[in-house]
Amino acid sequence: MLRLDAAMRGPEEAADHENGDEEESGHTENDRLRHGRDLRTRGPLRQAFAGARERLRSRAVKLPKRGVPWRPTREQIAAAEGKKVPDVIADDLAVLFCGINPGLYSGATRHHFARPGNRFWKVLYQAGFTSRLLTPFDEDELVASRIGITNLVERATATAAELRPEELRDGARRLARKAERRRPAIVAILGIEAYRHAFERKTAQLGEQEQRLGPARVWVLPNPSGLNAHYQLPDLVRVFGELARAAKLA
């Protein structure tokens, strides 16, 4: 304990202590020799620990700042299973778009509709929702145009087919509570089959629904995923454009 105390003192205080009377301090010449060896070995140990910490930091996955474009690695995409993507949302939006759930690419980047080939951002621009072609990394700009994005189910999966029916129904109730709290004018659900299962409306068709979520009107639009071969880009632009005009955004 005396050696540790001396090491923790400042240089002048430690020197005063070591230069004191041996009988008063309890130190012998051998104690001082051992203390010197301790000080000499402590430096290399500290350097070794510092090097180990630096190596661990270099191996850690560092995600870019939000809004900075980047491409996730295969490992990051595979590790995104179950991750969430933050809502782009505010009170009193004109339109709150609601996807089914994030894909793994979106889960890895933490941005909506992020996978290359998804047509959501191109459709928004061509349908008149945005004044320029945005990317997933620009999504926070939507709020200034009174547009938001959320999901029925929060967890990321490789495909929507992995979702359980009860997850969709739970998501419908959560979306209803969100609409009550945030009060968007229109909630636009992207995916007719997801809507039919989540809200148990088996005969629902695309377009505006009779149902309301709180104060919000409900529209159902096609899923803009590139895997949805039933709707080509001009078809998507047409039906999204009808919503833009209804919301007085185009």
Q: What's the number of domains the chain is made of?
A: 2
CB atoms within 10 A of CB 182: 20
Shared-domain flag, residues 38 and 162: no
Averaged pLDDT, 36-54: 57
DSSP state of 134: -
What is the per-residue pLDDT for 6? Answer: 39
Tell me whether residue 200 is in a domain: yes
Tell me whether residue 180 is in a domain: yes
Cα distance between residue 4 and residue 238, in whole Å: 77
Nearest to 190 by CA among 118, 106, 107, 111: 118
Backbone angle region of 162, left / alpha / beta, with phi > 0 → left and psi within -120 to 50 → alpha: alpha
Of the pLDDT bands very low, low, confident and very high (cuts 50, 70, 90), residue 200 is very high
Shared-domain flag, residues 35 and 132: no
Contacts of 191 by beta carbon, 8 Å cutoff, 6+ apart? 99, 100, 160, 220, 222, 223
**203: burial class by Cβ within 10 Å (0-12, 13-18, 19+)?**
exposed
Classify the C-alpha dihedral 63-69-74-77 as positive or negative. positive
Shared-domain flag, residues 133 and 22: no
Tokens, residue 101: 């759930």
**Longest Cα separation, the chain:** 97
Tell me whether residue 199 is in a domain: yes
Strands of the 216-221 sheet, one edge to the other: 147-151, 95-99, 186-190, 216-221, 207-213
Nearest to 185 by CA among 146, 129, 150, 240: 146
Cα distance between residue 250 and residue 239, in whole Å: 13
Question: Using alpha carbons only, what angle is made at residue 244 by residues 131 and 230, rounded to the nearest 5 degrees?
Answer: 105
Tell me whether residue 119 is in a domain: yes
What is the per-residue pLDDT for 250? Answer: 84
In this predicted model, what pLDDT tens digit does every residue of 92-109 receive, in sequence order? 999 999 999 999 999 999
Shared-domain flag, residues 43 and 81: no
Are the C-beta atoms of 88 and 140 separated by less than 8 Å? yes
Shared-domain flag, residues 90 and 6: no
Averaged pLDDT, 153-159: 97
Tokens, residue 247: 């919301």
Could you list the residue range(s) of the whole structural domain that residue 124 is in? 74-246
CATH of the domain at 81: 3.40.470.10
In this predicted model, what pLDDT tens digit does every residue of 73-99 receive, in sequence order? 999 999 999 999 999 999 999 999 999
Tokens, residue 65: 């700042």
Averaged pLDDT, 187-211: 97
What is the per-residue pLDDT for 227? Answer: 86
Task: Give me the DSSP letters along 146-190.
Answer: TEEEEESS-S-BSSGGGS-HHHHHHHHHHHHHHHHHH--SEEEEE
Q: Which residues pair with 53 in a beta bridge?
A: none
Shared-domain flag, residues 88 and 205: yes
